[in-house]
A and B are shown apart, each in its own frame.
Chain A
Amino acid sequence: MTEWDIIWAARDDFLYGFANTLVIFALSALLAFVLGCVIVYLLEGPKSGPRTLLRWLINIMRTLPFLILAYLLYYGLPTLGVRLDAWTAGVGALIVYHGAYFAELLRGARVVLPGGTVEAARAYGFTTFTMFMRIILPQLLIRTRPLIGNQLVICLKDTAFLTIITVQELTAAANSVQSTYFIPLEAFVVVIALYWLISICLEVTIKQLGRFGKKRGFEHA
């Protein structure tokens, strides 16, 4: 039996891990994205105490290593009487962490959004919420498309950290196979290929979405 035969024999473990990684990634990326949009909406308007606080929270999140956050939620929170299972703690950590990043990249685009279109919306009687949903957010999304793609890939890779807090995802599956049969090279090559596969699908999708912007004159390169 070659090393590759062993990998093949353990394919169910890999597939289980792969499926779990996909679910974790899809759920946390989606909710992190929504969280980012909500935060940018909350930041809409004149400077105020709560908004300054929110900016601080984003910055704290962004300057924290992701692994520490995962540790904190999984091992730290029980001290405060909150006990989350590994999966919930891991997904929760991904959501708040990448939510902060999504918020920051959208905020960056908001800061440089030409003011005229927003002013026109205000002059036409849009309320802040409708204006955000109909006029501001669509423009931000078109303008940040490549950055969103980038953030999604980072989010995908961060799911691998969850193995350390015992979530049974793709990296955990590879780790288990390699330590049982001692075939690290093959096990990790397979895992890399699978992460690549997801990343490539993401990239292709994000690239396709560029058509929206091109059609509307947002992109020139």
Chain B
Amino acid sequence: MPDLPAVAIERLSKSFNGIEVLRDVDLTVNRGEVVSILGSSGSGKSTLLRCINWLEQPDRGAIRIGGQRIGVDDNGRRMPARELAALRAKTGMVFQSFNLWPHLTVLHNVTEAPIHVKGVAKKEAVRTARELLDKVGMAHKMEAYPYTLSGGQKQRVAIARALAMSPEVILFDEPTSALDPELVGEVLGVMKDLSAEGYTMVVVTHEMEFARAVSDQVVFLDKGIIIERAAPEQFFTAPETERVRKFLELKQ
């Protein structure tokens, strides 16, 4: 089913303790596309991203990954845990705080899920992991434990870990927000390479230059509503709403 979008979100709504954080959000991410989600803190962008792999359960709406509905079926019945896990395995996620597994070496962080979730043979998983760590420039740290790495190195390992699952889509949740300014570049560089290779990516970020250079589509969330969506050139040079104009001015 190559024509189905990687991610299709329809009329998604979510409240926390009676406070609405997402309202009727529609978003389609086609294969090979990079979509950046922008907005100020508390606008709901991380929640939107975390709903995609059901780390947060939306109150209403439907999410499909490669055409397959996640979390509940069309009759509203909850998905069995195993099926949910299997569908999640088709997505990769990169977190703001890296969330590497501290008891495992860099290599094993990358091979862990392929071996124990997907059932990939160990030898093959190791071979793939070597290639991916090489791609993100971390092959020399294969035997190191995460606590010895810098933030930028941790995040590059986390990206390799995501790639190792050959995901249909990679979700990036503010991947550079916890990094020292001088380490941001190395992570964004890797992400740029990935987009050039045709990976499907949904990126929640505050890096405007990155969003402008790499995205196919930019989405702006304000108080849980998508108030603007456009190609990056148009978004950054001729925003339609006052809200976005203000936001971009502050980011200059």
- Of B81, B86, B99, B147, which contacts A120 at CB under 8 A? B99
Chain B residues, Cβ within 8 Å of A119:
55, 95, 99
Which residue in chain B gives the minimum CB-CB distance to A139?
B103
Q: Mark B182-219, 1 if CB is under 8 A from A, else 0.
A: 00000000000000000000000000000000000000
B93: A residues at CB distance < 8 A: 120, 123-124
**Separation of A121 and B102 alpha carbons in the complex (Å):** 12
Closest to A116 in B: B99
Residues of A within 8 A of B53 (CB): 123
Question: Across the interface, do A125 and B85 meet the contact criterion of CB distance under 8 Å?
Answer: yes
Interface residues in A91-145 (C-beta closer than 8 Å to B): 116-117, 119-128, 130, 134-135, 138-139, 142
B69-95, CB < 8 A from A: 81-82, 85-93, 95
In the bound complex, how far is the Cα of B173 from the Cα of A119, in angstroms? 13
B145 within 8 A of partner (CB): yes
Chain A residue at minimum C-beta to C-beta distance from B89: A125
Give, as a whole number of angstroms, the nearest-CB distance from A202 to chain B: 23
Q: Which stretch of B7-15, B112-120, B126-134, B226-234 is in the interface?
A: B112-120
How big is chain B's contact interface, by range? 20 to 34
The one of B88, B90, B116 in contact with A134, judged by C-beta atoms closer than 8 angstroms, is B116
A126 near B102 with CB under 8 A, answer no
Contacts of A126 on B, CB cut-off 8 Å?
85, 113, 116-117
**B88, A135: Cβ atoms under 8 Å?**
no
Nearest CB on B from A206, distance (A): 17
Q: A217 contacts which of B92, B148, B171 (Cβ < 8 Å)?
A: B148
B89-A124 in contact (CB<8A) = yes
Residues of B near A122 (CB, < 8 A) are 55, 88
Indicate whether A215 reaches chain B with its CB closer than 8 angstroms.
yes
A168-198 interface mask toward B, CB cutoff 8 Å, 1 = contact, 0 = none?
Answer: 0000000000000000000000000000000
Q: Does A218 sit at the interface, judged by CB under 8 A?
A: yes
Instruction: Give B53's nearest chain A residue, CB to CB.
Output: A123
In the docked arrangement, what's the CA distance between A122 and B99, Å? 11
- Apart from A125-B88, A126-B85, list 14 A-B contacts with CB within 8 A: A119-B55, A120-B95, A121-B113, A123-B88, A124-B161, A125-B85, A126-B116, A126-B117, A127-B82, A134-B112, A134-B116, A216-B102, A216-B145, A217-B148
16 pairs, A vs B, C-beta closer than 8 Å: A116-B95, A116-B97, A116-B98, A119-B55, A119-B95, A119-B99, A121-B101, A123-B55, A123-B171, A124-B117, A125-B90, A126-B113, A128-B81, A216-B103, A217-B146, A218-B102
Which residue numbers of B lie inside 8 Å of A, CB to CB?
A: 53, 55, 81-82, 85-93, 95, 97-103, 112-113, 116-118, 145-148, 161, 165, 171
A-to-B contact residues, CB < 8 Å: 116-117, 119-128, 130, 134-135, 138-139, 142, 215-218
